[in-house]
Amino acid sequence: MGLNDKLLPYLTNSIRPTKRIILQCVMSFFDPIGFLSPLLIHGRIIIQETWRSRTEWDQSVTDELFGRWLGWTKLLSDIEKVRIPRCFFGDESINDIRAIQLHIFSDAGEDAYGCVAYLRYLVRDEIRCALVGSKAKAAPLKLTSTPRLELQAAVIGARLMNVLKTSLPVSIQEQFLWVDSTTVLSWIRSDSRKYKPYVAHRVAEILHTTDIAAWRYVPSRMNIADDLTKWGSGTTVDPECRWFLGPPFLHEPMESWSEQPKTKLLVPDELKPCYLFHHIVLPEAIIDVTRISKWKVLLRTIATVYRFISNCKREWKGLPIEAISIDDGRKAIIPAVHVAIQQEELCKAEHLLWRMAQADKFADEVKILKRNKDVASDQWIRIEKSSPLYKMSPFLDEDCIIRMEGRTAAASFAASSTRFPVILPRDHVITKKIVEDFHVRYGHASKEIVVNEIRQAFFVPKLRAVVGRVIIDCLVCKLRRST
Calculate the alpha carbon distances from 69 to 39, 59, 246, 253 in Å.
12, 15, 28, 41
Same domain, 163 and 36: no
Question: Which of 227, 252, 270 represents a domain boundary (last residue)?
Answer: 270
User: Which of helix, strand or coil describes residue 18?
Assistant: strand
Q: What's the pLDDT tens digit per position in 186-208? A: 899 887 778 888 898 999 999 99
Q: What is the pLDDT of residue 465?
A: 93
Q: What is the pLDDT of residue 229?
A: 84
Same domain, 265 and 195: yes
Is 130 within the bounds of a domain? yes
Is 388 within the bounds of a domain? no
Lowest mean pLDDT among 61-70, 210-219, 226-235, 449-458: 226-235
Beta-ladder partners of 215: 177
Lowest mean pLDDT among 87-91, 208-212, 216-220, 461-465: 87-91
User: Which of helix, strand or coil describes residue 136?
Assistant: strand
Same domain, 73 and 206: no
Order of strands across the sheet with 126-138?
126-138, 112-123, 97-108, 174-179, 215-217
Question: Which of 60, 81, 102 represents a domain boundary (last residue)?
Answer: 81
pLDDT above 70 (res 96): yes
- ∠227-233-238 over CA atoms, to 5°? 65
Same domain, 98 and 205: yes
Same domain, 41 and 109: no
Structurally, the chain folds into a number of domains equal to: 3
Residue type for position 110: E
Is 390 within the bounds of a domain? no
Beta-ladder partners of 101: 120, 174
Which of 201, 139, 18 minimizes the C-alpha distance to 10?
A: 18
Q: What is the pLDDT of residue 2?
A: 47
Beta-ladder partners of 404: 394
Is 156 within the bounds of a domain? yes
Same domain, 249 and 131: yes
Q: CA 10 to CA 17: how far, in whole Å?
A: 6
Q: What is the pLDDT of residue 191?
A: 79
Residue type for position 156: I
Q: What is the pLDDT of residue 254?
A: 87
Q: CA 278 to CA 370: how far, in whole Å?
A: 12
The residue with greater pLDDT, 231 or 90, is: 90
127 exposed, middle or buried (CB, 10 Å; 0-12, 13-18, 19+)?
middle
Tell me what percent of the residues of the chain surpass a pLDDT of 90. Answer: 30
Lowest mean pLDDT among 1-10, 77-86, 344-353, 404-413: 1-10
Same domain, 32 and 180: no
Is 323 within the bounds of a domain? no
Question: Which of 270, 285, 314 represents a domain boundary (last residue)?
Answer: 270
Is 343 within the bounds of a domain? no
Lowest mean pLDDT among 75-84, 238-247, 283-292, 421-430: 283-292
Q: What is the mean pLDDT of residues 8-23?
A: 84
Q: What is the pLDDT of residue 285?
A: 58
E strands, 230-344, are 321-323, 336-338
Same domain, 56 and 127: no
E strands, 312-420, are 321-323, 336-338, 394-396, 402-404
Same domain, 71 and 214: no
The band of 14, judged by pLDDT with boundaries at 50, 70 and 90, is: confident
Same domain, 104 and 70: no
Q: What is the pLDDT of residue 103?
A: 95
Which of 108, 107, 111 minimizes the C-alpha distance to 44?
A: 111
Residue type for position 210: T
Which spans in 210-294 are helix H?
226-229, 242-245
Same domain, 99 and 154: yes
pLDDT above 80 (res 273): no
Is 220 within the bounds of a domain? yes
The band of 353, judged by pLDDT with boundaries at 50, 70 and 90, is: very high
Q: Domain span at residue 186?
A: 94-270
- Is 0.85 topped by the overall pTM? no
Is 212 within the bounds of a domain? yes
Same domain, 186 and 208: yes
Q: What is the pLDDT of residue 124?
A: 84
The CATH code of the domain that includes 218 is 3.30.420
